[in-house]
A = this chain, B = another copy of it.
Amino acid sequence: MTQAELVADIVRRGRAASERLAELRPDVKDAALRQAADALEGAAEEIAAENTRDLEAGRAKGLAAPLLDRLRLDAERIGAMAAGLREVAALPDPVGEVTRMWTRPNGLQVGRMRIPLGVILVIYESRPNVTADVAALCLKSGNAAILRGGSEAIHSNRAIAKVLRESIARAGVPEDALLLVSDSDRALVDALLLRDDAIDLVIPRGGEGLIRSVAEKSRIPVIKHYKGVCHVYLDEFADPKRATELAVNSKVQRVSVCNAAETLLVHAKLSERVVADVLGALAAHGVELHACARTREHFPAALPARDEDYHTEWLAKVMSVRMVDSLDQAIEHIRRYGSNHTETIVTQDVTRAREFVRRVNSSSVFVNASTRFSDGFQLGLGAEVGVSTTKLHWYGPMGLEGLTTQKFIAFGEGTILE
């Protein structure tokens, strides 16, 4: 097939599968997901063997050790993928949910009902387990998935997709519900990104570079998740114990993730002793502090912060610190340096808490809770397909609901417009 034919074939198969998928009963989809989980476990050796080919090629290409680790699949990781499929099967089905219903003066009963988006293109990097995760979320929400994984994981991805396609087909779900694009040609993806007539959404999962490049080329709407420059704001009325616990948990519970805090804002009227305690606790956890001059007066061990530090997503045991004179200043700092991801206020004052929640329009805004909760699982969405830091369609951690839209439905009794 020429590339144009290949693109036409992929979108045609995706659309046809999406029409059938949208009509499937929840129990058919759930049985398919459970069957796919069993099949993955049954094919663990085969998948591991294909994974070994990727690992060998990766070593030959000189991939760094952390990348090789992310690429590796063993029986345990394959078991985790299968468990993930079973968890998605156990979630409530979003399709067909009527979110609200009301009656018009003329008796017309009007509502909104969730339906799948249609066809979703997911572009991701090295970890092959994403293939199973994303396929499961798309299938459950009634969407066909076109998956484009990283070239380093090509054999692993092909093996996983083969097992999934065969097993869902046995359960009565069209195998084209999952289409893996394993052509290594980047031009093929670029051509898919122009097909806004046939593909409804693009989700790039990876670094900022990948996301920017996809967003620039795409005619199709893109869920963008740039970076997480998350803030912890210790208000004048912060409880001292909570201040320390929340600053430490937000920063060090896991440093390499987007919802880890990167900047600590401290109200100038918070007692010197509390400031010293919080910063001391962070330092004791090995955090390198980059602080403004006023903070360093209280805590001279901190390094001086440069302006660019406040823009930085450290993803490491490093934290920027700034002292502010008011809630206004804290909010202004967040607007200027933040990335619309997650911010939390630590305060016992209800007016300050309300004001922070009302005025800060990042995608997750918390009171007396760790930034680490900004995650689909932790917030109770049951799953996560990504975090959107732009406002259209979805904002914040995105689960199954974000993979649907809502149509209007209305029931009359021969109701006509006068």
Given A378-B104, A410-B366, answer yes or no on A245-B416 (Cβ-Cβ < 8 Å).
Answer: yes
Supply 5 further A-B pairs (C-beta < 8 A) apart from A102-B380, A364-B410: A362-B407, A366-B411, A367-B412, A373-B410, A392-B392
| Interface bracket on A | 35 or more
Near B by CB (< 8 A), chain A positions 352-367 give 353, 357-359, 361-367
Q: Which of A102, A215, A408, A413 has the most CB of B within 10 A?
A: A408
Please, how many angstroms separate the alpha-carbon atoms of A82 and B146 in the complex?
50
Question: Once bound together, how far apart are the Cα atoms of A31 and B278, in whole Å?
Answer: 46
Contact of A411 among B364, B367, B395 (CB under 8 A): B367
Interface residues of A in 382-418 (CB under 8 A from B): 390-397, 405-417
Contact A108 B409 (CB under 8 A): no
> Which one, A110-118, A154-162, A177-185, A299-307, is touching chain B?
A110-118
**Which residues of B sit under 8 angstroms from A115, Cβ to Cβ?**
361, 391
In the bound complex, CA of A32 to CA of B239 (Å): 40
Whether B417 pairs with A118 at a CB distance below 8 angstroms is no
15 A-B pairs within 8 Å (CB atoms) are namely: A104-B378, A104-B379, A108-B369, A116-B361, A196-B215, A200-B390, A200-B392, A201-B392, A241-B414, A245-B414, A353-B411, A368-B413, A369-B410, A370-B415, A370-B417
**Bound CA–CA A97/B201 (angstroms):** 27
A405, chain B: closest CB distance, angstroms: 4
